[in-house]
């Protein structure tokens, strides 16, 4: 018999516990300031604000004129003087702009449904060329978005756009520049948003001769019609045979050199099997092209079939590469610009993972990566460190390792199919994931399929995440300390030494962050732009100046300003995990997980290791999670993991869990390597039997569970100590006690 439970609870949990911030005796003369607010608010949403100086009886004021809507919005709960939540009216339209009043003064205005433009699918565009913009609130019902490039209006393809992506054609007449500014206005009255980074414009080229779908591909038009037929061209002293027996390495290299000497061109390989005893070095301006996948095959005998470093305007397309010898090097294309791999099949046969890494303005389209079980545990691919990446329509069948997108940024990963093959491989010692995205930022992972061949997976152990970002495994990037002094854009701690170059090189990573996690100013996060003699410099001024009560943490963001949307996941042990890593401004929306775990956010503190990982502003919405076959659990879990008793700071702020549908196994199952329950949870976990829980610690602040459903969950929603200001509203349970 179906039982319907309607949860209509506005709760401020553990309000009698320790306050979030000590009350300043001068608070009534200090402006309230909001550090963290949601970015994609809709009518009817409950909204949470975190900051300082809200006062004992704050109010939230709706700005502008909204017919029939009171200007003072109803509060739902408060916690201390630094957290409040309120409800947006269901029937409101237009701009949602509010401010907080603490009884004496107002905060600055907070825009709740303004456009937020994060990144493109490339770092270079052309006049009259198409490109995509990714972000939040870009195209909202009832309004028409407007885009400018360098101040000139662009054309938006409304039929191909949505709230997270605009498809745009750049205006004519743009001049070549390395730093044009792009803005987006969604038309609802909140005003324009400036893209997070400036973009290069290259004028003088048109077209897309290889149908790559990115603007920088127009530069290939200058030499796409220059053909060097590697089998028949009379200018070649040595020609390829491609009979599967003759070594064609030197002849192919000669054709590449000829095309380069001509100013660029296409080296055409014939139908047949070309035997490469070695490998060929790609050159700038040259495209190596076969007659088609499985029509032209390169049999690689002893090393990478092709390789290159630091080249420009080059590609490989329309062929198959087969590793003949187990364990050999696979193709390498690294640290290059405007390069592509299109319609290529990689039969890796246990060879090393192809290293296609560190490239900028980079497309990988329509390729197949086939990596069987192998004794070296080699995976199928690494594209680590790529930027301006368009990765579309590719397929993976692999048994070991993981497709790695670590350190990737400004990227669009769309319509790919990732299949983990566990046929005869249930007990592999390899650590296997279907997609890793460690330290990625400004990426969109959209409409991909992740599944399993030969399943179900029966090997229950601590891996198998479908999508994973983790804070570095054995190579951590975190540090922590207490502020000794501060200025508007610095904090100083002379007792601490921080590694702000965790990946080598001489430039601080763009996604290196610092957060004030405890004391004055807790909840603020900034980009680190400099470090010297114990002083960190940040990208913009503090809203509230840190002082000697302020605990700080530094880290490379594990995932930042990113979108995980519309993906289908099935049969892997774990779903989408943001695990023990710093995370900021991430949307996990409209994904479907079936017989493959759930969604897990884990913030953590290990004081002895100087590790503290904050999670701010994650939205988990409109996802469907169904596990019914007693293999894996259904869950959406938000956890702060505490390895020691020290109360150093707040780990999780402002996570939104809305409109998700979760169906659990019946009866519910428990996996030792996973969690104690199926359902939704928000709690502090203390590691070790001797770690007594402290009711006074505030580790997760203001998590919102709104309009979710749960079926067959013995516990629908679990909220435990350490989680304050939690809101439960409109959640529905079916056939659940």
Q: pLDDT tens digits for 564-610?
A: 999 999 999 999 999 999 999 999 999 999 999 999 999 999 999 99
* Residue 462, pLDDT score: 72
Phi and psi torsions of 255, nearest 5°: -65, -40
Dist. CA 444–CA 409, nearest whole Å? 9
Distances (CA, A) of 351 to 245, 344, 665: 21, 16, 40
CA 329 to chain centre: 29
Question: pLDDT confidence of 370, banded at 50, 70, 90?
Answer: very high
CA 374 to chain centre: 30
Cβ distance 653 to 50 under 8 Å? yes
Question: pLDDT confidence of 21, banded at 50, 70, 90?
Answer: very low
DSSP 649-679: ---EE--EEES-EEE--SS----TTS-S-SE
Inform me whether the pLDDT recorded for 2 exceeds 50.
Answer: no
pLDDT in tens, 256-283: 999 999 999 999 999 999 999 999 999 9
Q: Which fold has domain 4-111?
A: Immunoglobulin-like (2.60.40)
* Residue 696, pLDDT score: 76
The region of weakest confidence among 8-17, 174-183, 379-388, 696-705 is: 8-17
* Residue 689, pLDDT score: 56
Cβ distance 420 to 572 under 8 Å? yes
pLDDT in tens, 142-154: 999 999 999 999 9
Dist. CA 662–CA 598, nearest whole Å? 9
Report the share of the chain in percent with pLDDT over 90: 86
Cβ distance 418 to 386 under 8 Å? no
Inform me whether the pLDDT recorded for 214 exceeds 70.
Answer: yes
Mean pLDDT of the chain, nearest integer: 93
pLDDT in tens, 374-423: 999 999 999 999 999 999 999 999 999 999 999 999 999 999 999 999 99
pLDDT in tens, 634-688: 999 999 999 888 899 999 999 999 999 999 999 999 876 667 789 999 999 888 6
Q: What angle do CA 33, 37, 41 make, to 5 degrees?
A: 140
Cβ distance 699 to 675 under 8 Å? no
Domains 4-111 and 116-204 equal at CATH topology level: yes
Give domain 116-204's CATH architecture. Answer: Sandwich (2.60)
Phi and psi torsions of 220, nearest 5°: -70, -15
Question: pLDDT confidence of 314, banded at 50, 70, 90?
Answer: very high
Question: pLDDT confidence of 693, banded at 50, 70, 90?
Answer: low
Question: pLDDT confidence of 90, banded at 50, 70, 90?
Answer: very high
Collect all residues with Cβ–Cβ distance below 8 Å to 100 and sequence separation of at least 6.
32, 34, 49, 51, 54, 58, 59, 60, 61, 84, 106, 107, 110
DSSP 194-229: E-SS-EEE--S----TT---SGGGGGGGGTTT-EEE
Cβ distance 311 to 336 under 8 Å? yes
Inform me whether the pLDDT recorded for 26 exceeds 50.
Answer: no
In the sheet with 177-180, reading across from the earlier edge strand, the strands are 124-125, 199-201, 177-180
* Residue 519, pLDDT score: 97
Cβ distance 240 to 229 under 8 Å? no
Residue spans of the domains in the chain: they are 4-111, 116-204, 479-556
Residue (of 183, 181, 140, 182) closest to 161 by Cα position: 140
* Residue 346, pLDDT score: 98
Residue (of 732, 726, 733, 720) closest to 11 by Cα position: 726
């Amino acid at each position: 018999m179906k039982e319907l439970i309607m949860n209509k609870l506005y709760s401020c949990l553990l309000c009698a516990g320790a306050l979030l911030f000590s009350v300043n005796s001068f608070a009534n003369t200090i402006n309230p300031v909001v550090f963290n607010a949601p970015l994609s608010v809709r009518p009817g949403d409950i909204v949470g604000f975190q900051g300082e100086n809200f006062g004992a009886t704050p109010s939230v004021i709706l700005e502008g004129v909204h017919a029939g809507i009171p200007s003072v919005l109803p509060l739902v709960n408060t916690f201390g003087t630094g957290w409040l939540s309120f409800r947006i009216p269901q029937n409101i339209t237009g701009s949602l702009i509010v401010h907080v009043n603490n009884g004496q003064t107002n905060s600055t205005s907070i825009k709740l449904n303004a456009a937020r433009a994060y990144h493109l699918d490339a770092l270079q565009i052309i006049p009259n060329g198409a490109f995509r913009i990714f972000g939040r609130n870009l195209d909202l019902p009832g309004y028409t978005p407007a885009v400018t490039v360098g101040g000139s209006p662009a054309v938006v393809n409304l039929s191909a756009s949505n709230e997270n992506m605009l498809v745009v054609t750049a205006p004519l007449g743009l001049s070549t520049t390395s730093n044009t500014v792009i803005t987006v206005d969604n038309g609802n009255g909140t005003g324009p948003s400036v893209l997070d980074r400036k973009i290069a414009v290259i004028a003088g080229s048109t077209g897309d001769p290889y149908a790559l779908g990115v603007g920088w591909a127009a530069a290939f038009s200058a030499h796409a019609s220059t053909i060097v037929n590697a089998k028949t061209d009379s200018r070649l002293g040595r020609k390829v045979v491609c009979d599967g027996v003759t070594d064609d390495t030197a002849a192919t290299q000669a054709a590449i050199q000829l095309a380069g000497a001509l100013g660029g061109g296409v080296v055409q390989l014939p139908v047949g099997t070309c035997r490469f005893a070695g490998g060929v070095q790609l050159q700038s301006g040259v495209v190596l092209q076969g007659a088609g996948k499985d029509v032209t095959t390169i049999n690689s005998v002893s090393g990478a079939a092709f390789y290159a470093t630091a080249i420009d305007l080059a590609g490989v397309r329309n062929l198959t590469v087969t590793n003949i010898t187990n364990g050999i090097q696979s193709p390498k294309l690294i640290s290059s610009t405007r390069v592509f791999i299109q319609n290529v099949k990689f039969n890796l046969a246990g060879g090393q993972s192809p290293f296609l890494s560190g490239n900028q303005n980079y497309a990988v389209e329509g390729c197949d990566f086939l990596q069987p079980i192998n004794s070296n545990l080699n995976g199928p691919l690494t594209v680590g460190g790529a930027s301006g990446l368009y990765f579309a329509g590719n397929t993976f069948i692999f048994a070991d390792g993981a497709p790695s997108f670590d350190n990737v940024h400004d990227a669009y990963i769309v319509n790919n199919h990732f299949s983990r093959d566990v046929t005869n491989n249930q007990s592999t010692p390899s650590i296997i994931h279907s997609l890793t995205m460690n330290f990625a930022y400004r990426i969109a992972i959209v409409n991909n399929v992740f599944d399993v061949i030969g399943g179900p997976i029966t090997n229950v152990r601590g891996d198998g995440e479908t999508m994973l970002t983790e804070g570095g495994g054995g190579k951590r990037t975190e540090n922590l300390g207490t502020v000794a002094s501060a200025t508007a854009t610095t904090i100083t701690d002379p007792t601490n030494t921080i590694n702000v170059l965790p990946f080598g090189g001489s430039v601080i990573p763009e996604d290196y962050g610092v957060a004030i996690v405890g004391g004055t100013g807790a909840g603020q996060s900034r980009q680190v732009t400099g470090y010297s003699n114990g002083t960190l410099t940040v990208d913009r001024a503090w809203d509230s100046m840190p002082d000697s009560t302020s605990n700080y943490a530094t880290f490379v963001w594990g995932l930042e300003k990113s979108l995980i949307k519309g993906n289908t996941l099935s049969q892997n042990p774990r779903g989408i995990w943001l695990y023990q890593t710093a995370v900021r401004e991430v949307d996990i929306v409209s994904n479907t997980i079936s017989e493959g775990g759930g969604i897990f956010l884990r913030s953590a503190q290990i004081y002895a290791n100087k590790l503290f990982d904050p999670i701010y502003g994650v939205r988990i919405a409109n996802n469907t999670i169904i596990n019914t076959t007693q293999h894996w659990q259904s869950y959406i879990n938000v956890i702060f993991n505490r390895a020691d008793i020290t109360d150093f700071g707040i780990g999780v702020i402002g996570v939104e869990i809305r409109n998700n549908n979760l169906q659990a196994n019946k009866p519910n199952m428990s996996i030792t390597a996973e969690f104690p329950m199926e359902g939704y949870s928000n709690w502090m976990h203390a590691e070790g039997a001797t770690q007594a829980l402290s009711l006074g610690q505030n580790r997760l602040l203001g998590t919102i569970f709104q309009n979710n459903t749960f079926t067959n969950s013995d516990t629908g929603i679990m909220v435990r100590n350490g989680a304050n200001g939690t809101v439960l509203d409109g959640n529905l349970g079916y056939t659940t006690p």
